[in-house]
Structure formats: C-alpha cells, structure tokens
C-alpha cells in the first residue's frame, strides 16, 4: 500500500513537471508569434504599459501624436497649435450640448478643428476609465484626427476615424497600420469637416 502511494506521488510529480515545461514551451512560441510588431518611428510601450502610464495625463497622448507625425511625415503640429485644451469632462454625454462629433467617450468641436492654433478635445472621464490602454490611444488619435486633420468619420472599422472608438478587438499592429493611413491621408472614403467661412 505504501509503495503504491509512493508510486502515485512520483507519477504525479512527473506529470506536473511535464505539463509545466510544456506550458513554458508553448508560451514561448506564442510570445514570438504575437510580438512581431510592425515598424513605427515612435514606441507606444510607455502609454500602453499600466506601470508607466498615468491614466489621468491626457497630454501624454498629444505628445505621442506630435512625435509620431513628426518622425513619420516631418510635420510639426506642436509648433502650429499653441493653445491646447485637452481635458476630462465629468458631465455625461447627454449633458454635453452640441459636441459636433460626439463619440460618446470624447469629442472635439468647431473651436478646435476650425482654428489651426487651437486643439480642443474633451474626454468623458467615466467612460475613459473603462477602456483598455490601446483603446485610449486609439480614441485620442481619433480626436486629434478631427481636430488637427479636420477628418470626418470613416465608414471602415479598420480606420482610426471610424466613429465607434470602443472596439475591443483592435491590436497594436491594426493601430499602426491605421495611423499610417491616417497620417498619409490615404484611407478610403476620406472626407473633411467644412468650417464656417465667416469665423
């Protein structure tokens, strides 16, 4: 009886040891497959890492966006936009009147996209905290797309200017491809916001 128990114990240890090492092997393979990240001239790891990002710091997204555009296209948006109003909103979507392009999580207004010197983007705090870090990056690029590029919404869910910025299936490579199209002004069905001429 003692021998049998001992035998079972040893078998169990061996099985555990095997499954442990199999687990590690398969993890290694998955990591290699998942992290073939597309090239981008800026790194997003700081804003996508919960340890280094400060979720209450919206300016980090402007800084990232400006650096991204600059090294991708050579354009300096920071120089052009001297007045930055990028802020949290504590009202609900329903309480915010006449956000011209409300996305139910963030909005931009005529005062921003019809004035090259101004960036005006409000972010609904409660909804914001429910998004993952990649969604937040996507949402902010979307709003800067309205404000800085004057883009209207796209009808393709793969584009940053698609109105639903709450998609949960986006990955970093999808983001990099989408922002490259956005910077090159080369996504399908591109449209621009028309501003009142009398301002």
Q: How far is the CB of 86 from Zn ion (least distance, A)?
A: 15
Which CB, 70 or 104, lies closer to Zn ion?
A: 104
Q: Residue 69: which residues within 8 A CB-CB, separation 6 or more?
A: 75, 76, 77, 183
Q: How far is the CB of 166 from Zn ion (least distance, A)?
A: 11
Which CB, 70 or 125, lies closer to Zn ion?
A: 125
Distance CA 175, CA 91 (A): 29
Q: How far is the CB of 187 from Zn ion (least distance, A)?
A: 14
**Residue 90 CA: distances (Å) to CA of 2, 117, 139:** 68, 25, 17
Inter-residue contact 179 to 160 (CB < 8 Å): yes
Which CB, 103 or 127, lies closer to Zn ion?
A: 103
Contacting residues toward Zn ion, per CB under 5 A: 101, 103
Residue 19: count of CB within 10 angstroms of its CB: 10
**Residue 124 CA: distances (Å) to CA of 53, 128, 132:** 18, 6, 14
Which CB, 70 or 158, lies closer to Zn ion?
A: 158
Q: How far is the CB of 121 from Zn ion (least distance, A)?
A: 10
Q: Is 122 helix (H, G, I), strand (E, B) or coil?
A: strand
Residue 128: count of CB within 10 angstroms of its CB: 19
Which CB, 101 or 109, lies closer to Zn ion?
A: 101
Q: How far is the CB of 145 from Zn ion (least distance, A)?
A: 8
């Amino acid at each position: 009886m003692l021998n049998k128990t001992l035998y079972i114990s040893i078998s169990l240890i061996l099985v555990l040891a095997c499954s442990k090492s199999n687990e590690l092997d398969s993890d290694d393979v998955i990591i290699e497959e998942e992290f073939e990240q597309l090239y981008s001239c800026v790194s997003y790891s700081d804003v996508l890492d919960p340890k280094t990002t400060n979720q209450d710091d919206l300016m980090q997204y402007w800084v990232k966006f400006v650096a991204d555009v600059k090294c991708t296209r050579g354009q300096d948006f920071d120089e052009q936009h001297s007045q930055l109003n990028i802020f949290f909103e504590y009202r609900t979507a329903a309480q915010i009147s006449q956000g011209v392009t409300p996305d139910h999580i963030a909005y931009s207004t005529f005062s921003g996209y019809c004035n090259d010197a101004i960036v005006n983007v409000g972010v609904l705090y409660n909804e914001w905290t429910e998004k993952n870090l990649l969604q937040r990056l996507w949402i902010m690029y979307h709003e800067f797309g309205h404000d800085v590029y004057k883009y209207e919404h796209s009808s393709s869910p793969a584009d940053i200017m698609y109105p639903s910025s709450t998609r949960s299936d986006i990955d970093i490579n999808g983001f990099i491809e989408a922002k490259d199209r956005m910077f090159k002004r080369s996504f399908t069905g591109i449209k621009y916001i028309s501003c009142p001429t009398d301002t």
